[in-house]
Amino acid sequence: MKIQDFFKKYPDEASCKAHFKAERDKQGVVCKRCQGQEHYWLSTRDQYQCKACKFRTTLRSGTLLHKSQLPYYYWYFGMMMLTSTKKSFSALEIQRQLGHLYYEPIWYMLHKIRHSMGKRDDNYLLGNEVELDEGFFEIVPNKERRDEIVIELANNDGKYKRGKGSQKQATVLVMAESITVEPTKKYRYKSNKKVRYIKMKLLNDLSKETTNAQVEQAIDSEASATTDGANNYNDLANNLTVHKSVVIQDKKETSKILPWVHIAISNAKRLLLDVHHSIGQEYLQSYLDEFCYKFNRKYFNSVFDRVVTNAVSCKWETNMQLIR
């Protein structure tokens, strides 16, 4: 949705609230007490009342907006800003645009929206041909990790590790689904693969068990996977139909063997560096979810409407990592 169209359709709090209610009515309300699906609407209280047991459910209850005190307009504005461009906006910028006094509620709201994006993408599995590789993203370690780093620095003469395994970086498993296409005259020098969807998942370590667990949740068992010769991919054949492991001797060959994985890593890093600074280790997955969600829907007409639908259907599960 274009920004000018948003302001025409949702000029105030009442229009946003009316649309949210219409979307909730479309999806239906289920009573928490008796599981009934027929309700009265109490307009004076903004609540649904079950016809069977008289139990009342607020308009926000059971949605992403559950227990939020922010206006509906803030939520709609935040969803519009996150989906209006290929890039993103920081919580500080959205706070300025809304004229809100405090930063933390806006920051928390945006992370809840990103959470719903990630939950939606988790419903789908990658198929066809899938490329896998690790990306290393600059982060600010959390408190537990900082304590570990102090010990590691003491054992290494106060020097940080460089490259793979650095204490300042987080390891992310990047997966890109692609299909083989016939090269055209216009793109005869480019890869014969066309990317479709991607997933990015934060890894606690580079063990086989951790990698296999993420692959099992993200990739269809009938898919074929292409990886480099890293040891953590050795057991992928147990979960996938075909696993092609290629030992890459020259870095220049990476763009030919795993083209879309590294394009996705490069684009994600550029986005995070341009918009967000000093990303905490515990929040990195949230930003990656936003990037993947928008990448996977780059050809869709209205991503904003889909995010609103997600906000209604996604039940917020309190994540202690998101509470400051």
Q: What is the pLDDT of residues 208-256, one digit of tens each?
A: 999 999 999 999 999 999 999 889 998 898 888 899 988 877 777 777 8
The structure's pTM equals 0.89
Computed over every residue of the chain, the mean pLDDT equals 87
Phi-psi region of 45 (alpha: psi -120 to 50; beta: other; left: phi over 0): alpha
Residue 129, H or E segment: strand 129-138
Residue 289, H or E segment: helix 284-296
> Helices in 135-175 by DSSP H: which ranges?
143-154
**Is 305 part of any domain?**
no
Question: Does the pLDDT of residue 86 top 60, yes or no?
Answer: yes
Give the closest residue to 121 by CA, choosing from 317, 266, 303, 274.
303
Q: What is the CATH number of the domain that holds 179?
A: 3.30.420
Mean pLDDT of 253-261: 84
**Is 20 part of any domain?**
yes
Same domain, 52 and 154: no
Per-residue pLDDT, 147? 62
Question: Does the pLDDT of residue 257 top 90, yes or no?
Answer: no
Tokens of 271: 């986005």
Same domain, 100 and 156: no
**Is 91 part of any domain?**
yes
**Is 101 part of any domain?**
yes
Same domain, 114 and 36: yes
Same domain, 89 and 144: no
**Is 299 part of any domain?**
no
State which residues form the domain around 47. 3-121+313-322
Per-residue pLDDT, 140? 80
Residues 1/304, Cβ–Cβ less than 8 Å? yes
